[in-house]
Amino acid sequence: MQTSPRITSAFEPLRIGPLTLRNRFIKAATNEGAALDGIPTGQSLRLHERIAAGGAAMTTLAYCAVSPDGRTLPDQVVLDHNSLPHLRALTQAVHRHGAAASAQITHGGCFTFLPPSRSALPLSASGGFNKVGILSGMLRKQAMSEADLSQVADEFVRGARLAREAGFDAVELHMGHGYLLSQFISPLYNKRHDCYGGTLENRMRFPLMVLRQVLDAVGQDLAVVCKYSVTDGVRSGNRAKDGAAIARLLEAEGAHLLVLSAGMNVESVTTMFGSSFPKENRVSTGKPLIDAVVALKSLLEPHVQFRELYLLEHSRKVRAAVRMPLAYIGGVKSLEGIEHLMAQGFDAVALGRVLLAEPDYVNTLQSGARRDSICTACNRCVAMMYTPGGTSCVLGEPGDAQLNSVGAALL
């Protein structure tokens, strides 16, 4: 198969901050269900090593909490010195194949199923009724004080420094999907009347403070990436015009790359994934609470049929608003789609479900062996992350439950 100029451009190097990627393909962060007592497991190491060997320029370790209270579920990485040797084993495995490793560092705020240890209620931009708490029993949340803001910002900085010590090449600040930084950005959650609420500029004040402090701490050594929701996907939330304004603020503050996601975990999951979670594609996780959440989402949300590049219309508005590097995410699963994104001026392509289905998809494309991914966007991988083997595609090799029961450094 003859390689087109546009797909060739996808295999050119990309500079983001101090980091040069070997091509334009990034493994997007996808919750893995592959952590044990806050440390990444051997299954997590194997997943990211296979993606690195499969040709991606950078792979992103999902949901590394900046503190134990920052987790949403027990099986997530915590950035502390207990996890350090296991994180280092993972980055070394990725580097053996010439790829870069990124740590997604974040805090769940009130989107958590774990009781907080340092406060009576889960923290958020605003206090009051906690709709996520209907499922966890934590029906109220607590507005963050100035002291809380300072402490959590410090935790992001410590997490970024630990990621650097562990050998990561980048950190990704998760500012989307309804996690803590998103709870400040979105009017769905931010009802504050001080300088951190009201206008978009005020709602961005805390996320920008975190970004600035992380840049000051590690930005000379690591690429600092921001992932955010260009649109919240619901009428009373941020829309794409707000997403473009957010991008301008992040660019002005010095972010090295933006990953353009969309949607919220509670209000608009189909916006995030581009398609519904039909009943026949659900799996039983053996955890009643999680099974209930998946079932409830399927019942309450309207049916959405998957279409490739489902976030392109929104992302184009951001591309027109800024000059900085942008990574498109959202339904990329073919050579034709990648070529179209390159023609639209996006700098990188972030792949999630596709690389779970085929870790070597990038090499397959470059060799010309095949154009399209085997991924069907069935979304069963989303529920598979709660099974003993962790995240996997039902069309491929399942996660290894034994590997998922030992720390990455113990392999």
Would you please indicate which residues are annotated as catalytic (active-site) residues? 179
What is the edge-to-edge ordering of all strands in the sheet holding 128-129?
123-124, 140-143, 128-129
Give 256's DSSP letter.
Answer: S
Transcribe 201-241 into DSSP letters: HHHTHHHHHHHHHHHHHHTTTSEEEEEEES--SSTTS--HH
Pairing of strands 326-328, 348-351: parallel
Could you give the CA distance from residue 308 to residue 376 in angstroms, rounded to a whole number? 10
Q: Tell me if 329 sits within 8 A of 229, measured CB to CB.
A: no
Strand (E) or helix (H) holding 123 = strand 123-124
Question: How many angstroms separate the first and last alpha carbons of the chain?
Answer: 40
CA distances from 381 to 48, 55, 58, 290, 391 (A): 16, 21, 21, 14, 6
